Structure 1
Amino acid sequence: MDPAFIGLVVIILVALAFDYTNGFHDAANAIAVAVSTKALTPRIALALAAVMNLVGALLSTEVAKTVGAGIIDPPEGNYGLEIVFAGVIGAIVWNMITWWYGLPSSSSHALIGGLVGAALAAAHSVQWMGVFEKVIVPMIVSPLVGFGLGYLFMLTILWAFRGANVARANRGFKTAQIFSSATMALGHGMQDAQKTMGIMTLALYTAGEIDSFEVPFWVVLSAAAAISAGTYAGGFRIMRTMGRRIIQLTPAGGFSAQTVASSVMVTTATVFAVPVSTTHITTTSIMGVGSTRRLSAVRWGVAGNIVVAWVVTLPAAAAVAAGAFYVTNFVVG
């Protein structure tokens, strides 16, 4: 059997493994708030998130094209497959490290950092303007938008329901959180599953199996299924951080944070086609909502640790991917 074809199959399987780890690593983004407010039980929340991740992944491929063709120049041949393979390995290793320590870092930035690190190790061309415009700028802007909108939306909710019966309002917001959780998972599928689609399509293009950078339907379906399965497997370590350690939210606060975060994710996927971090947006939306109570209500120490993980993710995943490329190139070569 052709070694290049075997290499392609390995990369596809590794990319799907990354997609699976992305599912259980980021599952908490969609459901932690609803679970912490007792709007949903963990298993029901995970099942809902898995289904909606699947639906979201099937809706669009624009982010996939950005990740696959807008970060590094599509490489060619076996050398190119080594770059793609090493990039995905870097992302998986960093995902597992941050999952183990319960840090909600960005799987998106781990994957992008992995691609860049592997390309640099191979002395391959990186589209630095694309990295700046489609990764760095959204990485800075989207959390700020999440925090600001979370703060303003929660203020609006507090004003609109200022005279409502608290117990009745809480019951209503718990019901509303079922829908906001579903929308969160939809946005997660539209963002994160597409990134794996982009990697798989890049591998197919590099191997000469497809002539243009159009995502095949079987790639869409398999990536959607992998992230959905990973989501249902759960992410309870990170769920504790997202749902309780940053701030203990009320049902109204949980609904506000999820509504804001899902709106930002869906908008960036459909309107701007840029890969943003669902983790960043969700965390800062929670922080914005919590700040309406009082700034001291947010556990800024925990939030600070999360921010450190955000900053470190790109270079750390790049470093791991560079190491993986050198090892792969030595073994293959």
Structure 2
Amino acid sequence: METAALLVVLVILLALFFDFTNGFHDTANAMATPIATGALKPKTAVLLAAVLNLVGAFLSTEVSKTVSHGIIHEDGIQAAVFLPMIFAGLIGAITWNMLTWLLGLPSSSSHALFGGLIGATLVGVGVQGIDFGMVLSKIILPALIAPVTAGIIAFVATKAAYSITRRYDGKPDGRDGFRWGQIFTSSLVALAHGTNDAQKTMGVITLALITVGWQNADQADPYLWVIIACAVTIALGTYLGGWRIIRTLGKGLTDVKPAQGFSAESATAATILASSAFGFALSTTQVASGSVIGSGLGRRGSTVRWRTAGRIAIGWLLTLPAAGAVGALAALIALWLGGWGIAIDAVLALAVIIGLFLRSRRDAVTPANAMSDVAESGLAIDLPDAPPPTRRQQRIEQAKAEAKARKQAKADARAQGKNGTRTKSTTAVRDEAGTEKGTGE
């Protein structure tokens, strides 16, 4: 029993760390577009998102029930087998989250979690341990339908927004009122994210507690301390901000204007809140990406960067199998070697996490450079607390300035040459006219 208790504690800690990675991985879902348009300063945006994620985590537990009483048949599985499976599944989810964060890919933390758990369960129990009907109805179908639905809503909303404000065509800042609207809609997305994604970690912890008999299987709702712990952890992760993914969603898919951002965020919030009410454990990342693409298609003259969208789509397709493969490998080690296997898994996972983090420091993305060309209309965000530019950035800026100066000097020289020729010709004509006049007199 002591071994089981220790393993439960390890599972809870690992689940909370996954919740933390979910927070900074998915901050972009709510705050990428308002940062891109200059509606909110970067640090203000992530602070607002953190607070609203915290609040949202207390508003619903339907998604938690899907995780704890849905995809895995926990009945009849011994704690000695089931707890290492959950532990291994979380390792698969965290590994994929960290890798996609390093690559700046807005992949699904939710599907990483489900993939890790499914892969570990297949190794530990077999196919009979998975409720594939629940996986199909609550995970796969929402993953296919939700991004398309959000994209269509964002497309229609963007079209409507530009149609209603048509009189501002040609005025660069004529639709700035949407920037104020973005503060509300992005806040709604952050709140919706808390109602959906924080629940998944609650479900995993509840599942572990049920396995060892610390919670009644008939009690679907998580304990209050579980809700508080998950809410605080995802809020902390959100506050740190996943700037790499914020950059991808904010300017990697399309150049977002205020009206587009408002429409995309409205579509994202509506889709996530509706799904949370029905207990669909969808990916807020996929919904947000679909909304941004839909808004890009809805604005005339806007360009969607389909190569980036293709990279994101590949990430979506790989999430379940990749996280599942890591979870399966970790489960294999844990179940074969027992306690030593769990220790080996923990050490390997720690090494991968530290390695990916250190690799990210080579080309760090911060609030200062995540949106370096934000708000080209002249409403760029002021960052008084931003770190000074690096030497490489200084050299790039100096080279740009020198190139611009050379170009201007050449233009001035050409203009001066033309003026000099024209002046000389005019003077010559006047002299000739004066000579002819003098001779005649």
Same fold (TM over 0.5): yes
Q: Structure 1, residues 95-127: CA drift from partner, whole Å, max 9, x if none? A: 011111111100000001111100001124100
Q: Percent identity?
A: 45
Q: Distance in 1 between matches of 2:125 and 2:71?
A: 14
8 A contact 1:78–1:207 mirrored in 2: no
Query: What's 2:47 paired with?
Result: 47
Higher-Rg member (1/2): 2
**1:330 Cα deviation (Å)?**
2.9
**1:317 Cα deviation (Å)?**
0.4
**1:167 Cα deviation (Å)?**
5.7
**1:76 Cα deviation (Å)?**
3.5
Query: What's 2:13 paired with?
Result: 13
8 A contact 2:124–2:335 mirrored in 1: no
Q: Which moved more, 1:230-239 or 1:212-221?
A: 212-221
Confirm whether residue 112 of structure 1 aligns to residue 114 of structure 2.
yes
Query: What's 1:173 paired with?
Result: 178
The AA in structure 2 aligned to 1:311 is L
Which 5+ residue runs of structure 1 have no aligned equivalent? none
Query: What's 2:262 paired with?
Result: 255
**1:294 Cα deviation (Å)?**
5.0
The AA in structure 2 aligned to 1:48 is L
Q: 2:124 pairs with 113, 122, 127, which one?
A: 122
Q: Distance in 1 between matches of 2:157 and 2:302?
A: 19
Q: How does 1:1-333 map to 2 (within 5 A)?
A: 2-74=2-74, 75-124=77-126, 125-164=129-168, 166=171, 169-212=174-217, 213-270=220-277, 272-294=278-300, 297-332=303-338
- Moved >6 Å (runs of 4+): none
Q: Structure 1, residues 280-328: CA drift from partner, whole Å, max 9, x if none? A: 0100111011002358710000000000000100000000000110112
Q: Distance in 2 between matches of 1:304 and 1:295?
A: 21
Q: Structure 1, residues 158-194: CA drift from partner, whole Å, max 9, x if none? A: 1111124746643311111111111010011111100
Residue 51 and residue 169 in structure 1: after superposition, are their counterparts in 2 closer, same or farther (change >3 A)?
Answer: farther
SS in 1 for 2:175: helix
Q: Which moved more, 1:115-124 or 1:161-170?
A: 161-170
Q: Distance in 2 between matches of 1:295 and 1:279?
A: 25
SS in 2 for 1:163: helix
The AA in structure 2 aligned to 1:304 is G
Q: How many residues align?
A: 332
**1:214 Cα deviation (Å)?**
2.5
Q: Structure 1, residues 67-101: CA drift from partner, whole Å, max 9, x if none? A: 12211112431211011111111100010111111
8 A contact 2:168–2:175 mirrored in 1: no
Q: Distance in 2 between matches of 1:149 and 1:71?
A: 29
8 A contact 2:32–2:247 mirrored in 1: yes
Q: Distance in 2 between matches of 1:167 and 1:55?
A: 36
Q: Structure 1, residues 29-74: CA drift from partner, whole Å, max 9, x if none? A: 1101000001111100000000000011110100000012211112
The AA in structure 2 aligned to 1:78 is A
Q: Distance in 2 between matches of 1:232 and 1:188?
A: 14
Q: Structure 1, residues 119-174: CA drift from partner, whole Å, max 9, x if none? A: 00112410011111111100100011011111111111111111247466433111
8 A contact 2:255–2:302 mirrored in 1: no
Higher RCO by CA contacts (8 Å cutoff, separation 6 or greater): 1
Q: Distance in 2 between matches of 1:51 and 1:189?
A: 10
Q: Distance in 2 between matches of 1:299 and 1:56?
A: 32
Which has the larger helix fraction? 1
Residue 198 and residue 293 in structure 1: after superposition, are their counterparts in 2 closer, same or farther (change >3 A)?
Answer: same
TM-score between both structures, scaled by the size of structure 1: 0.97
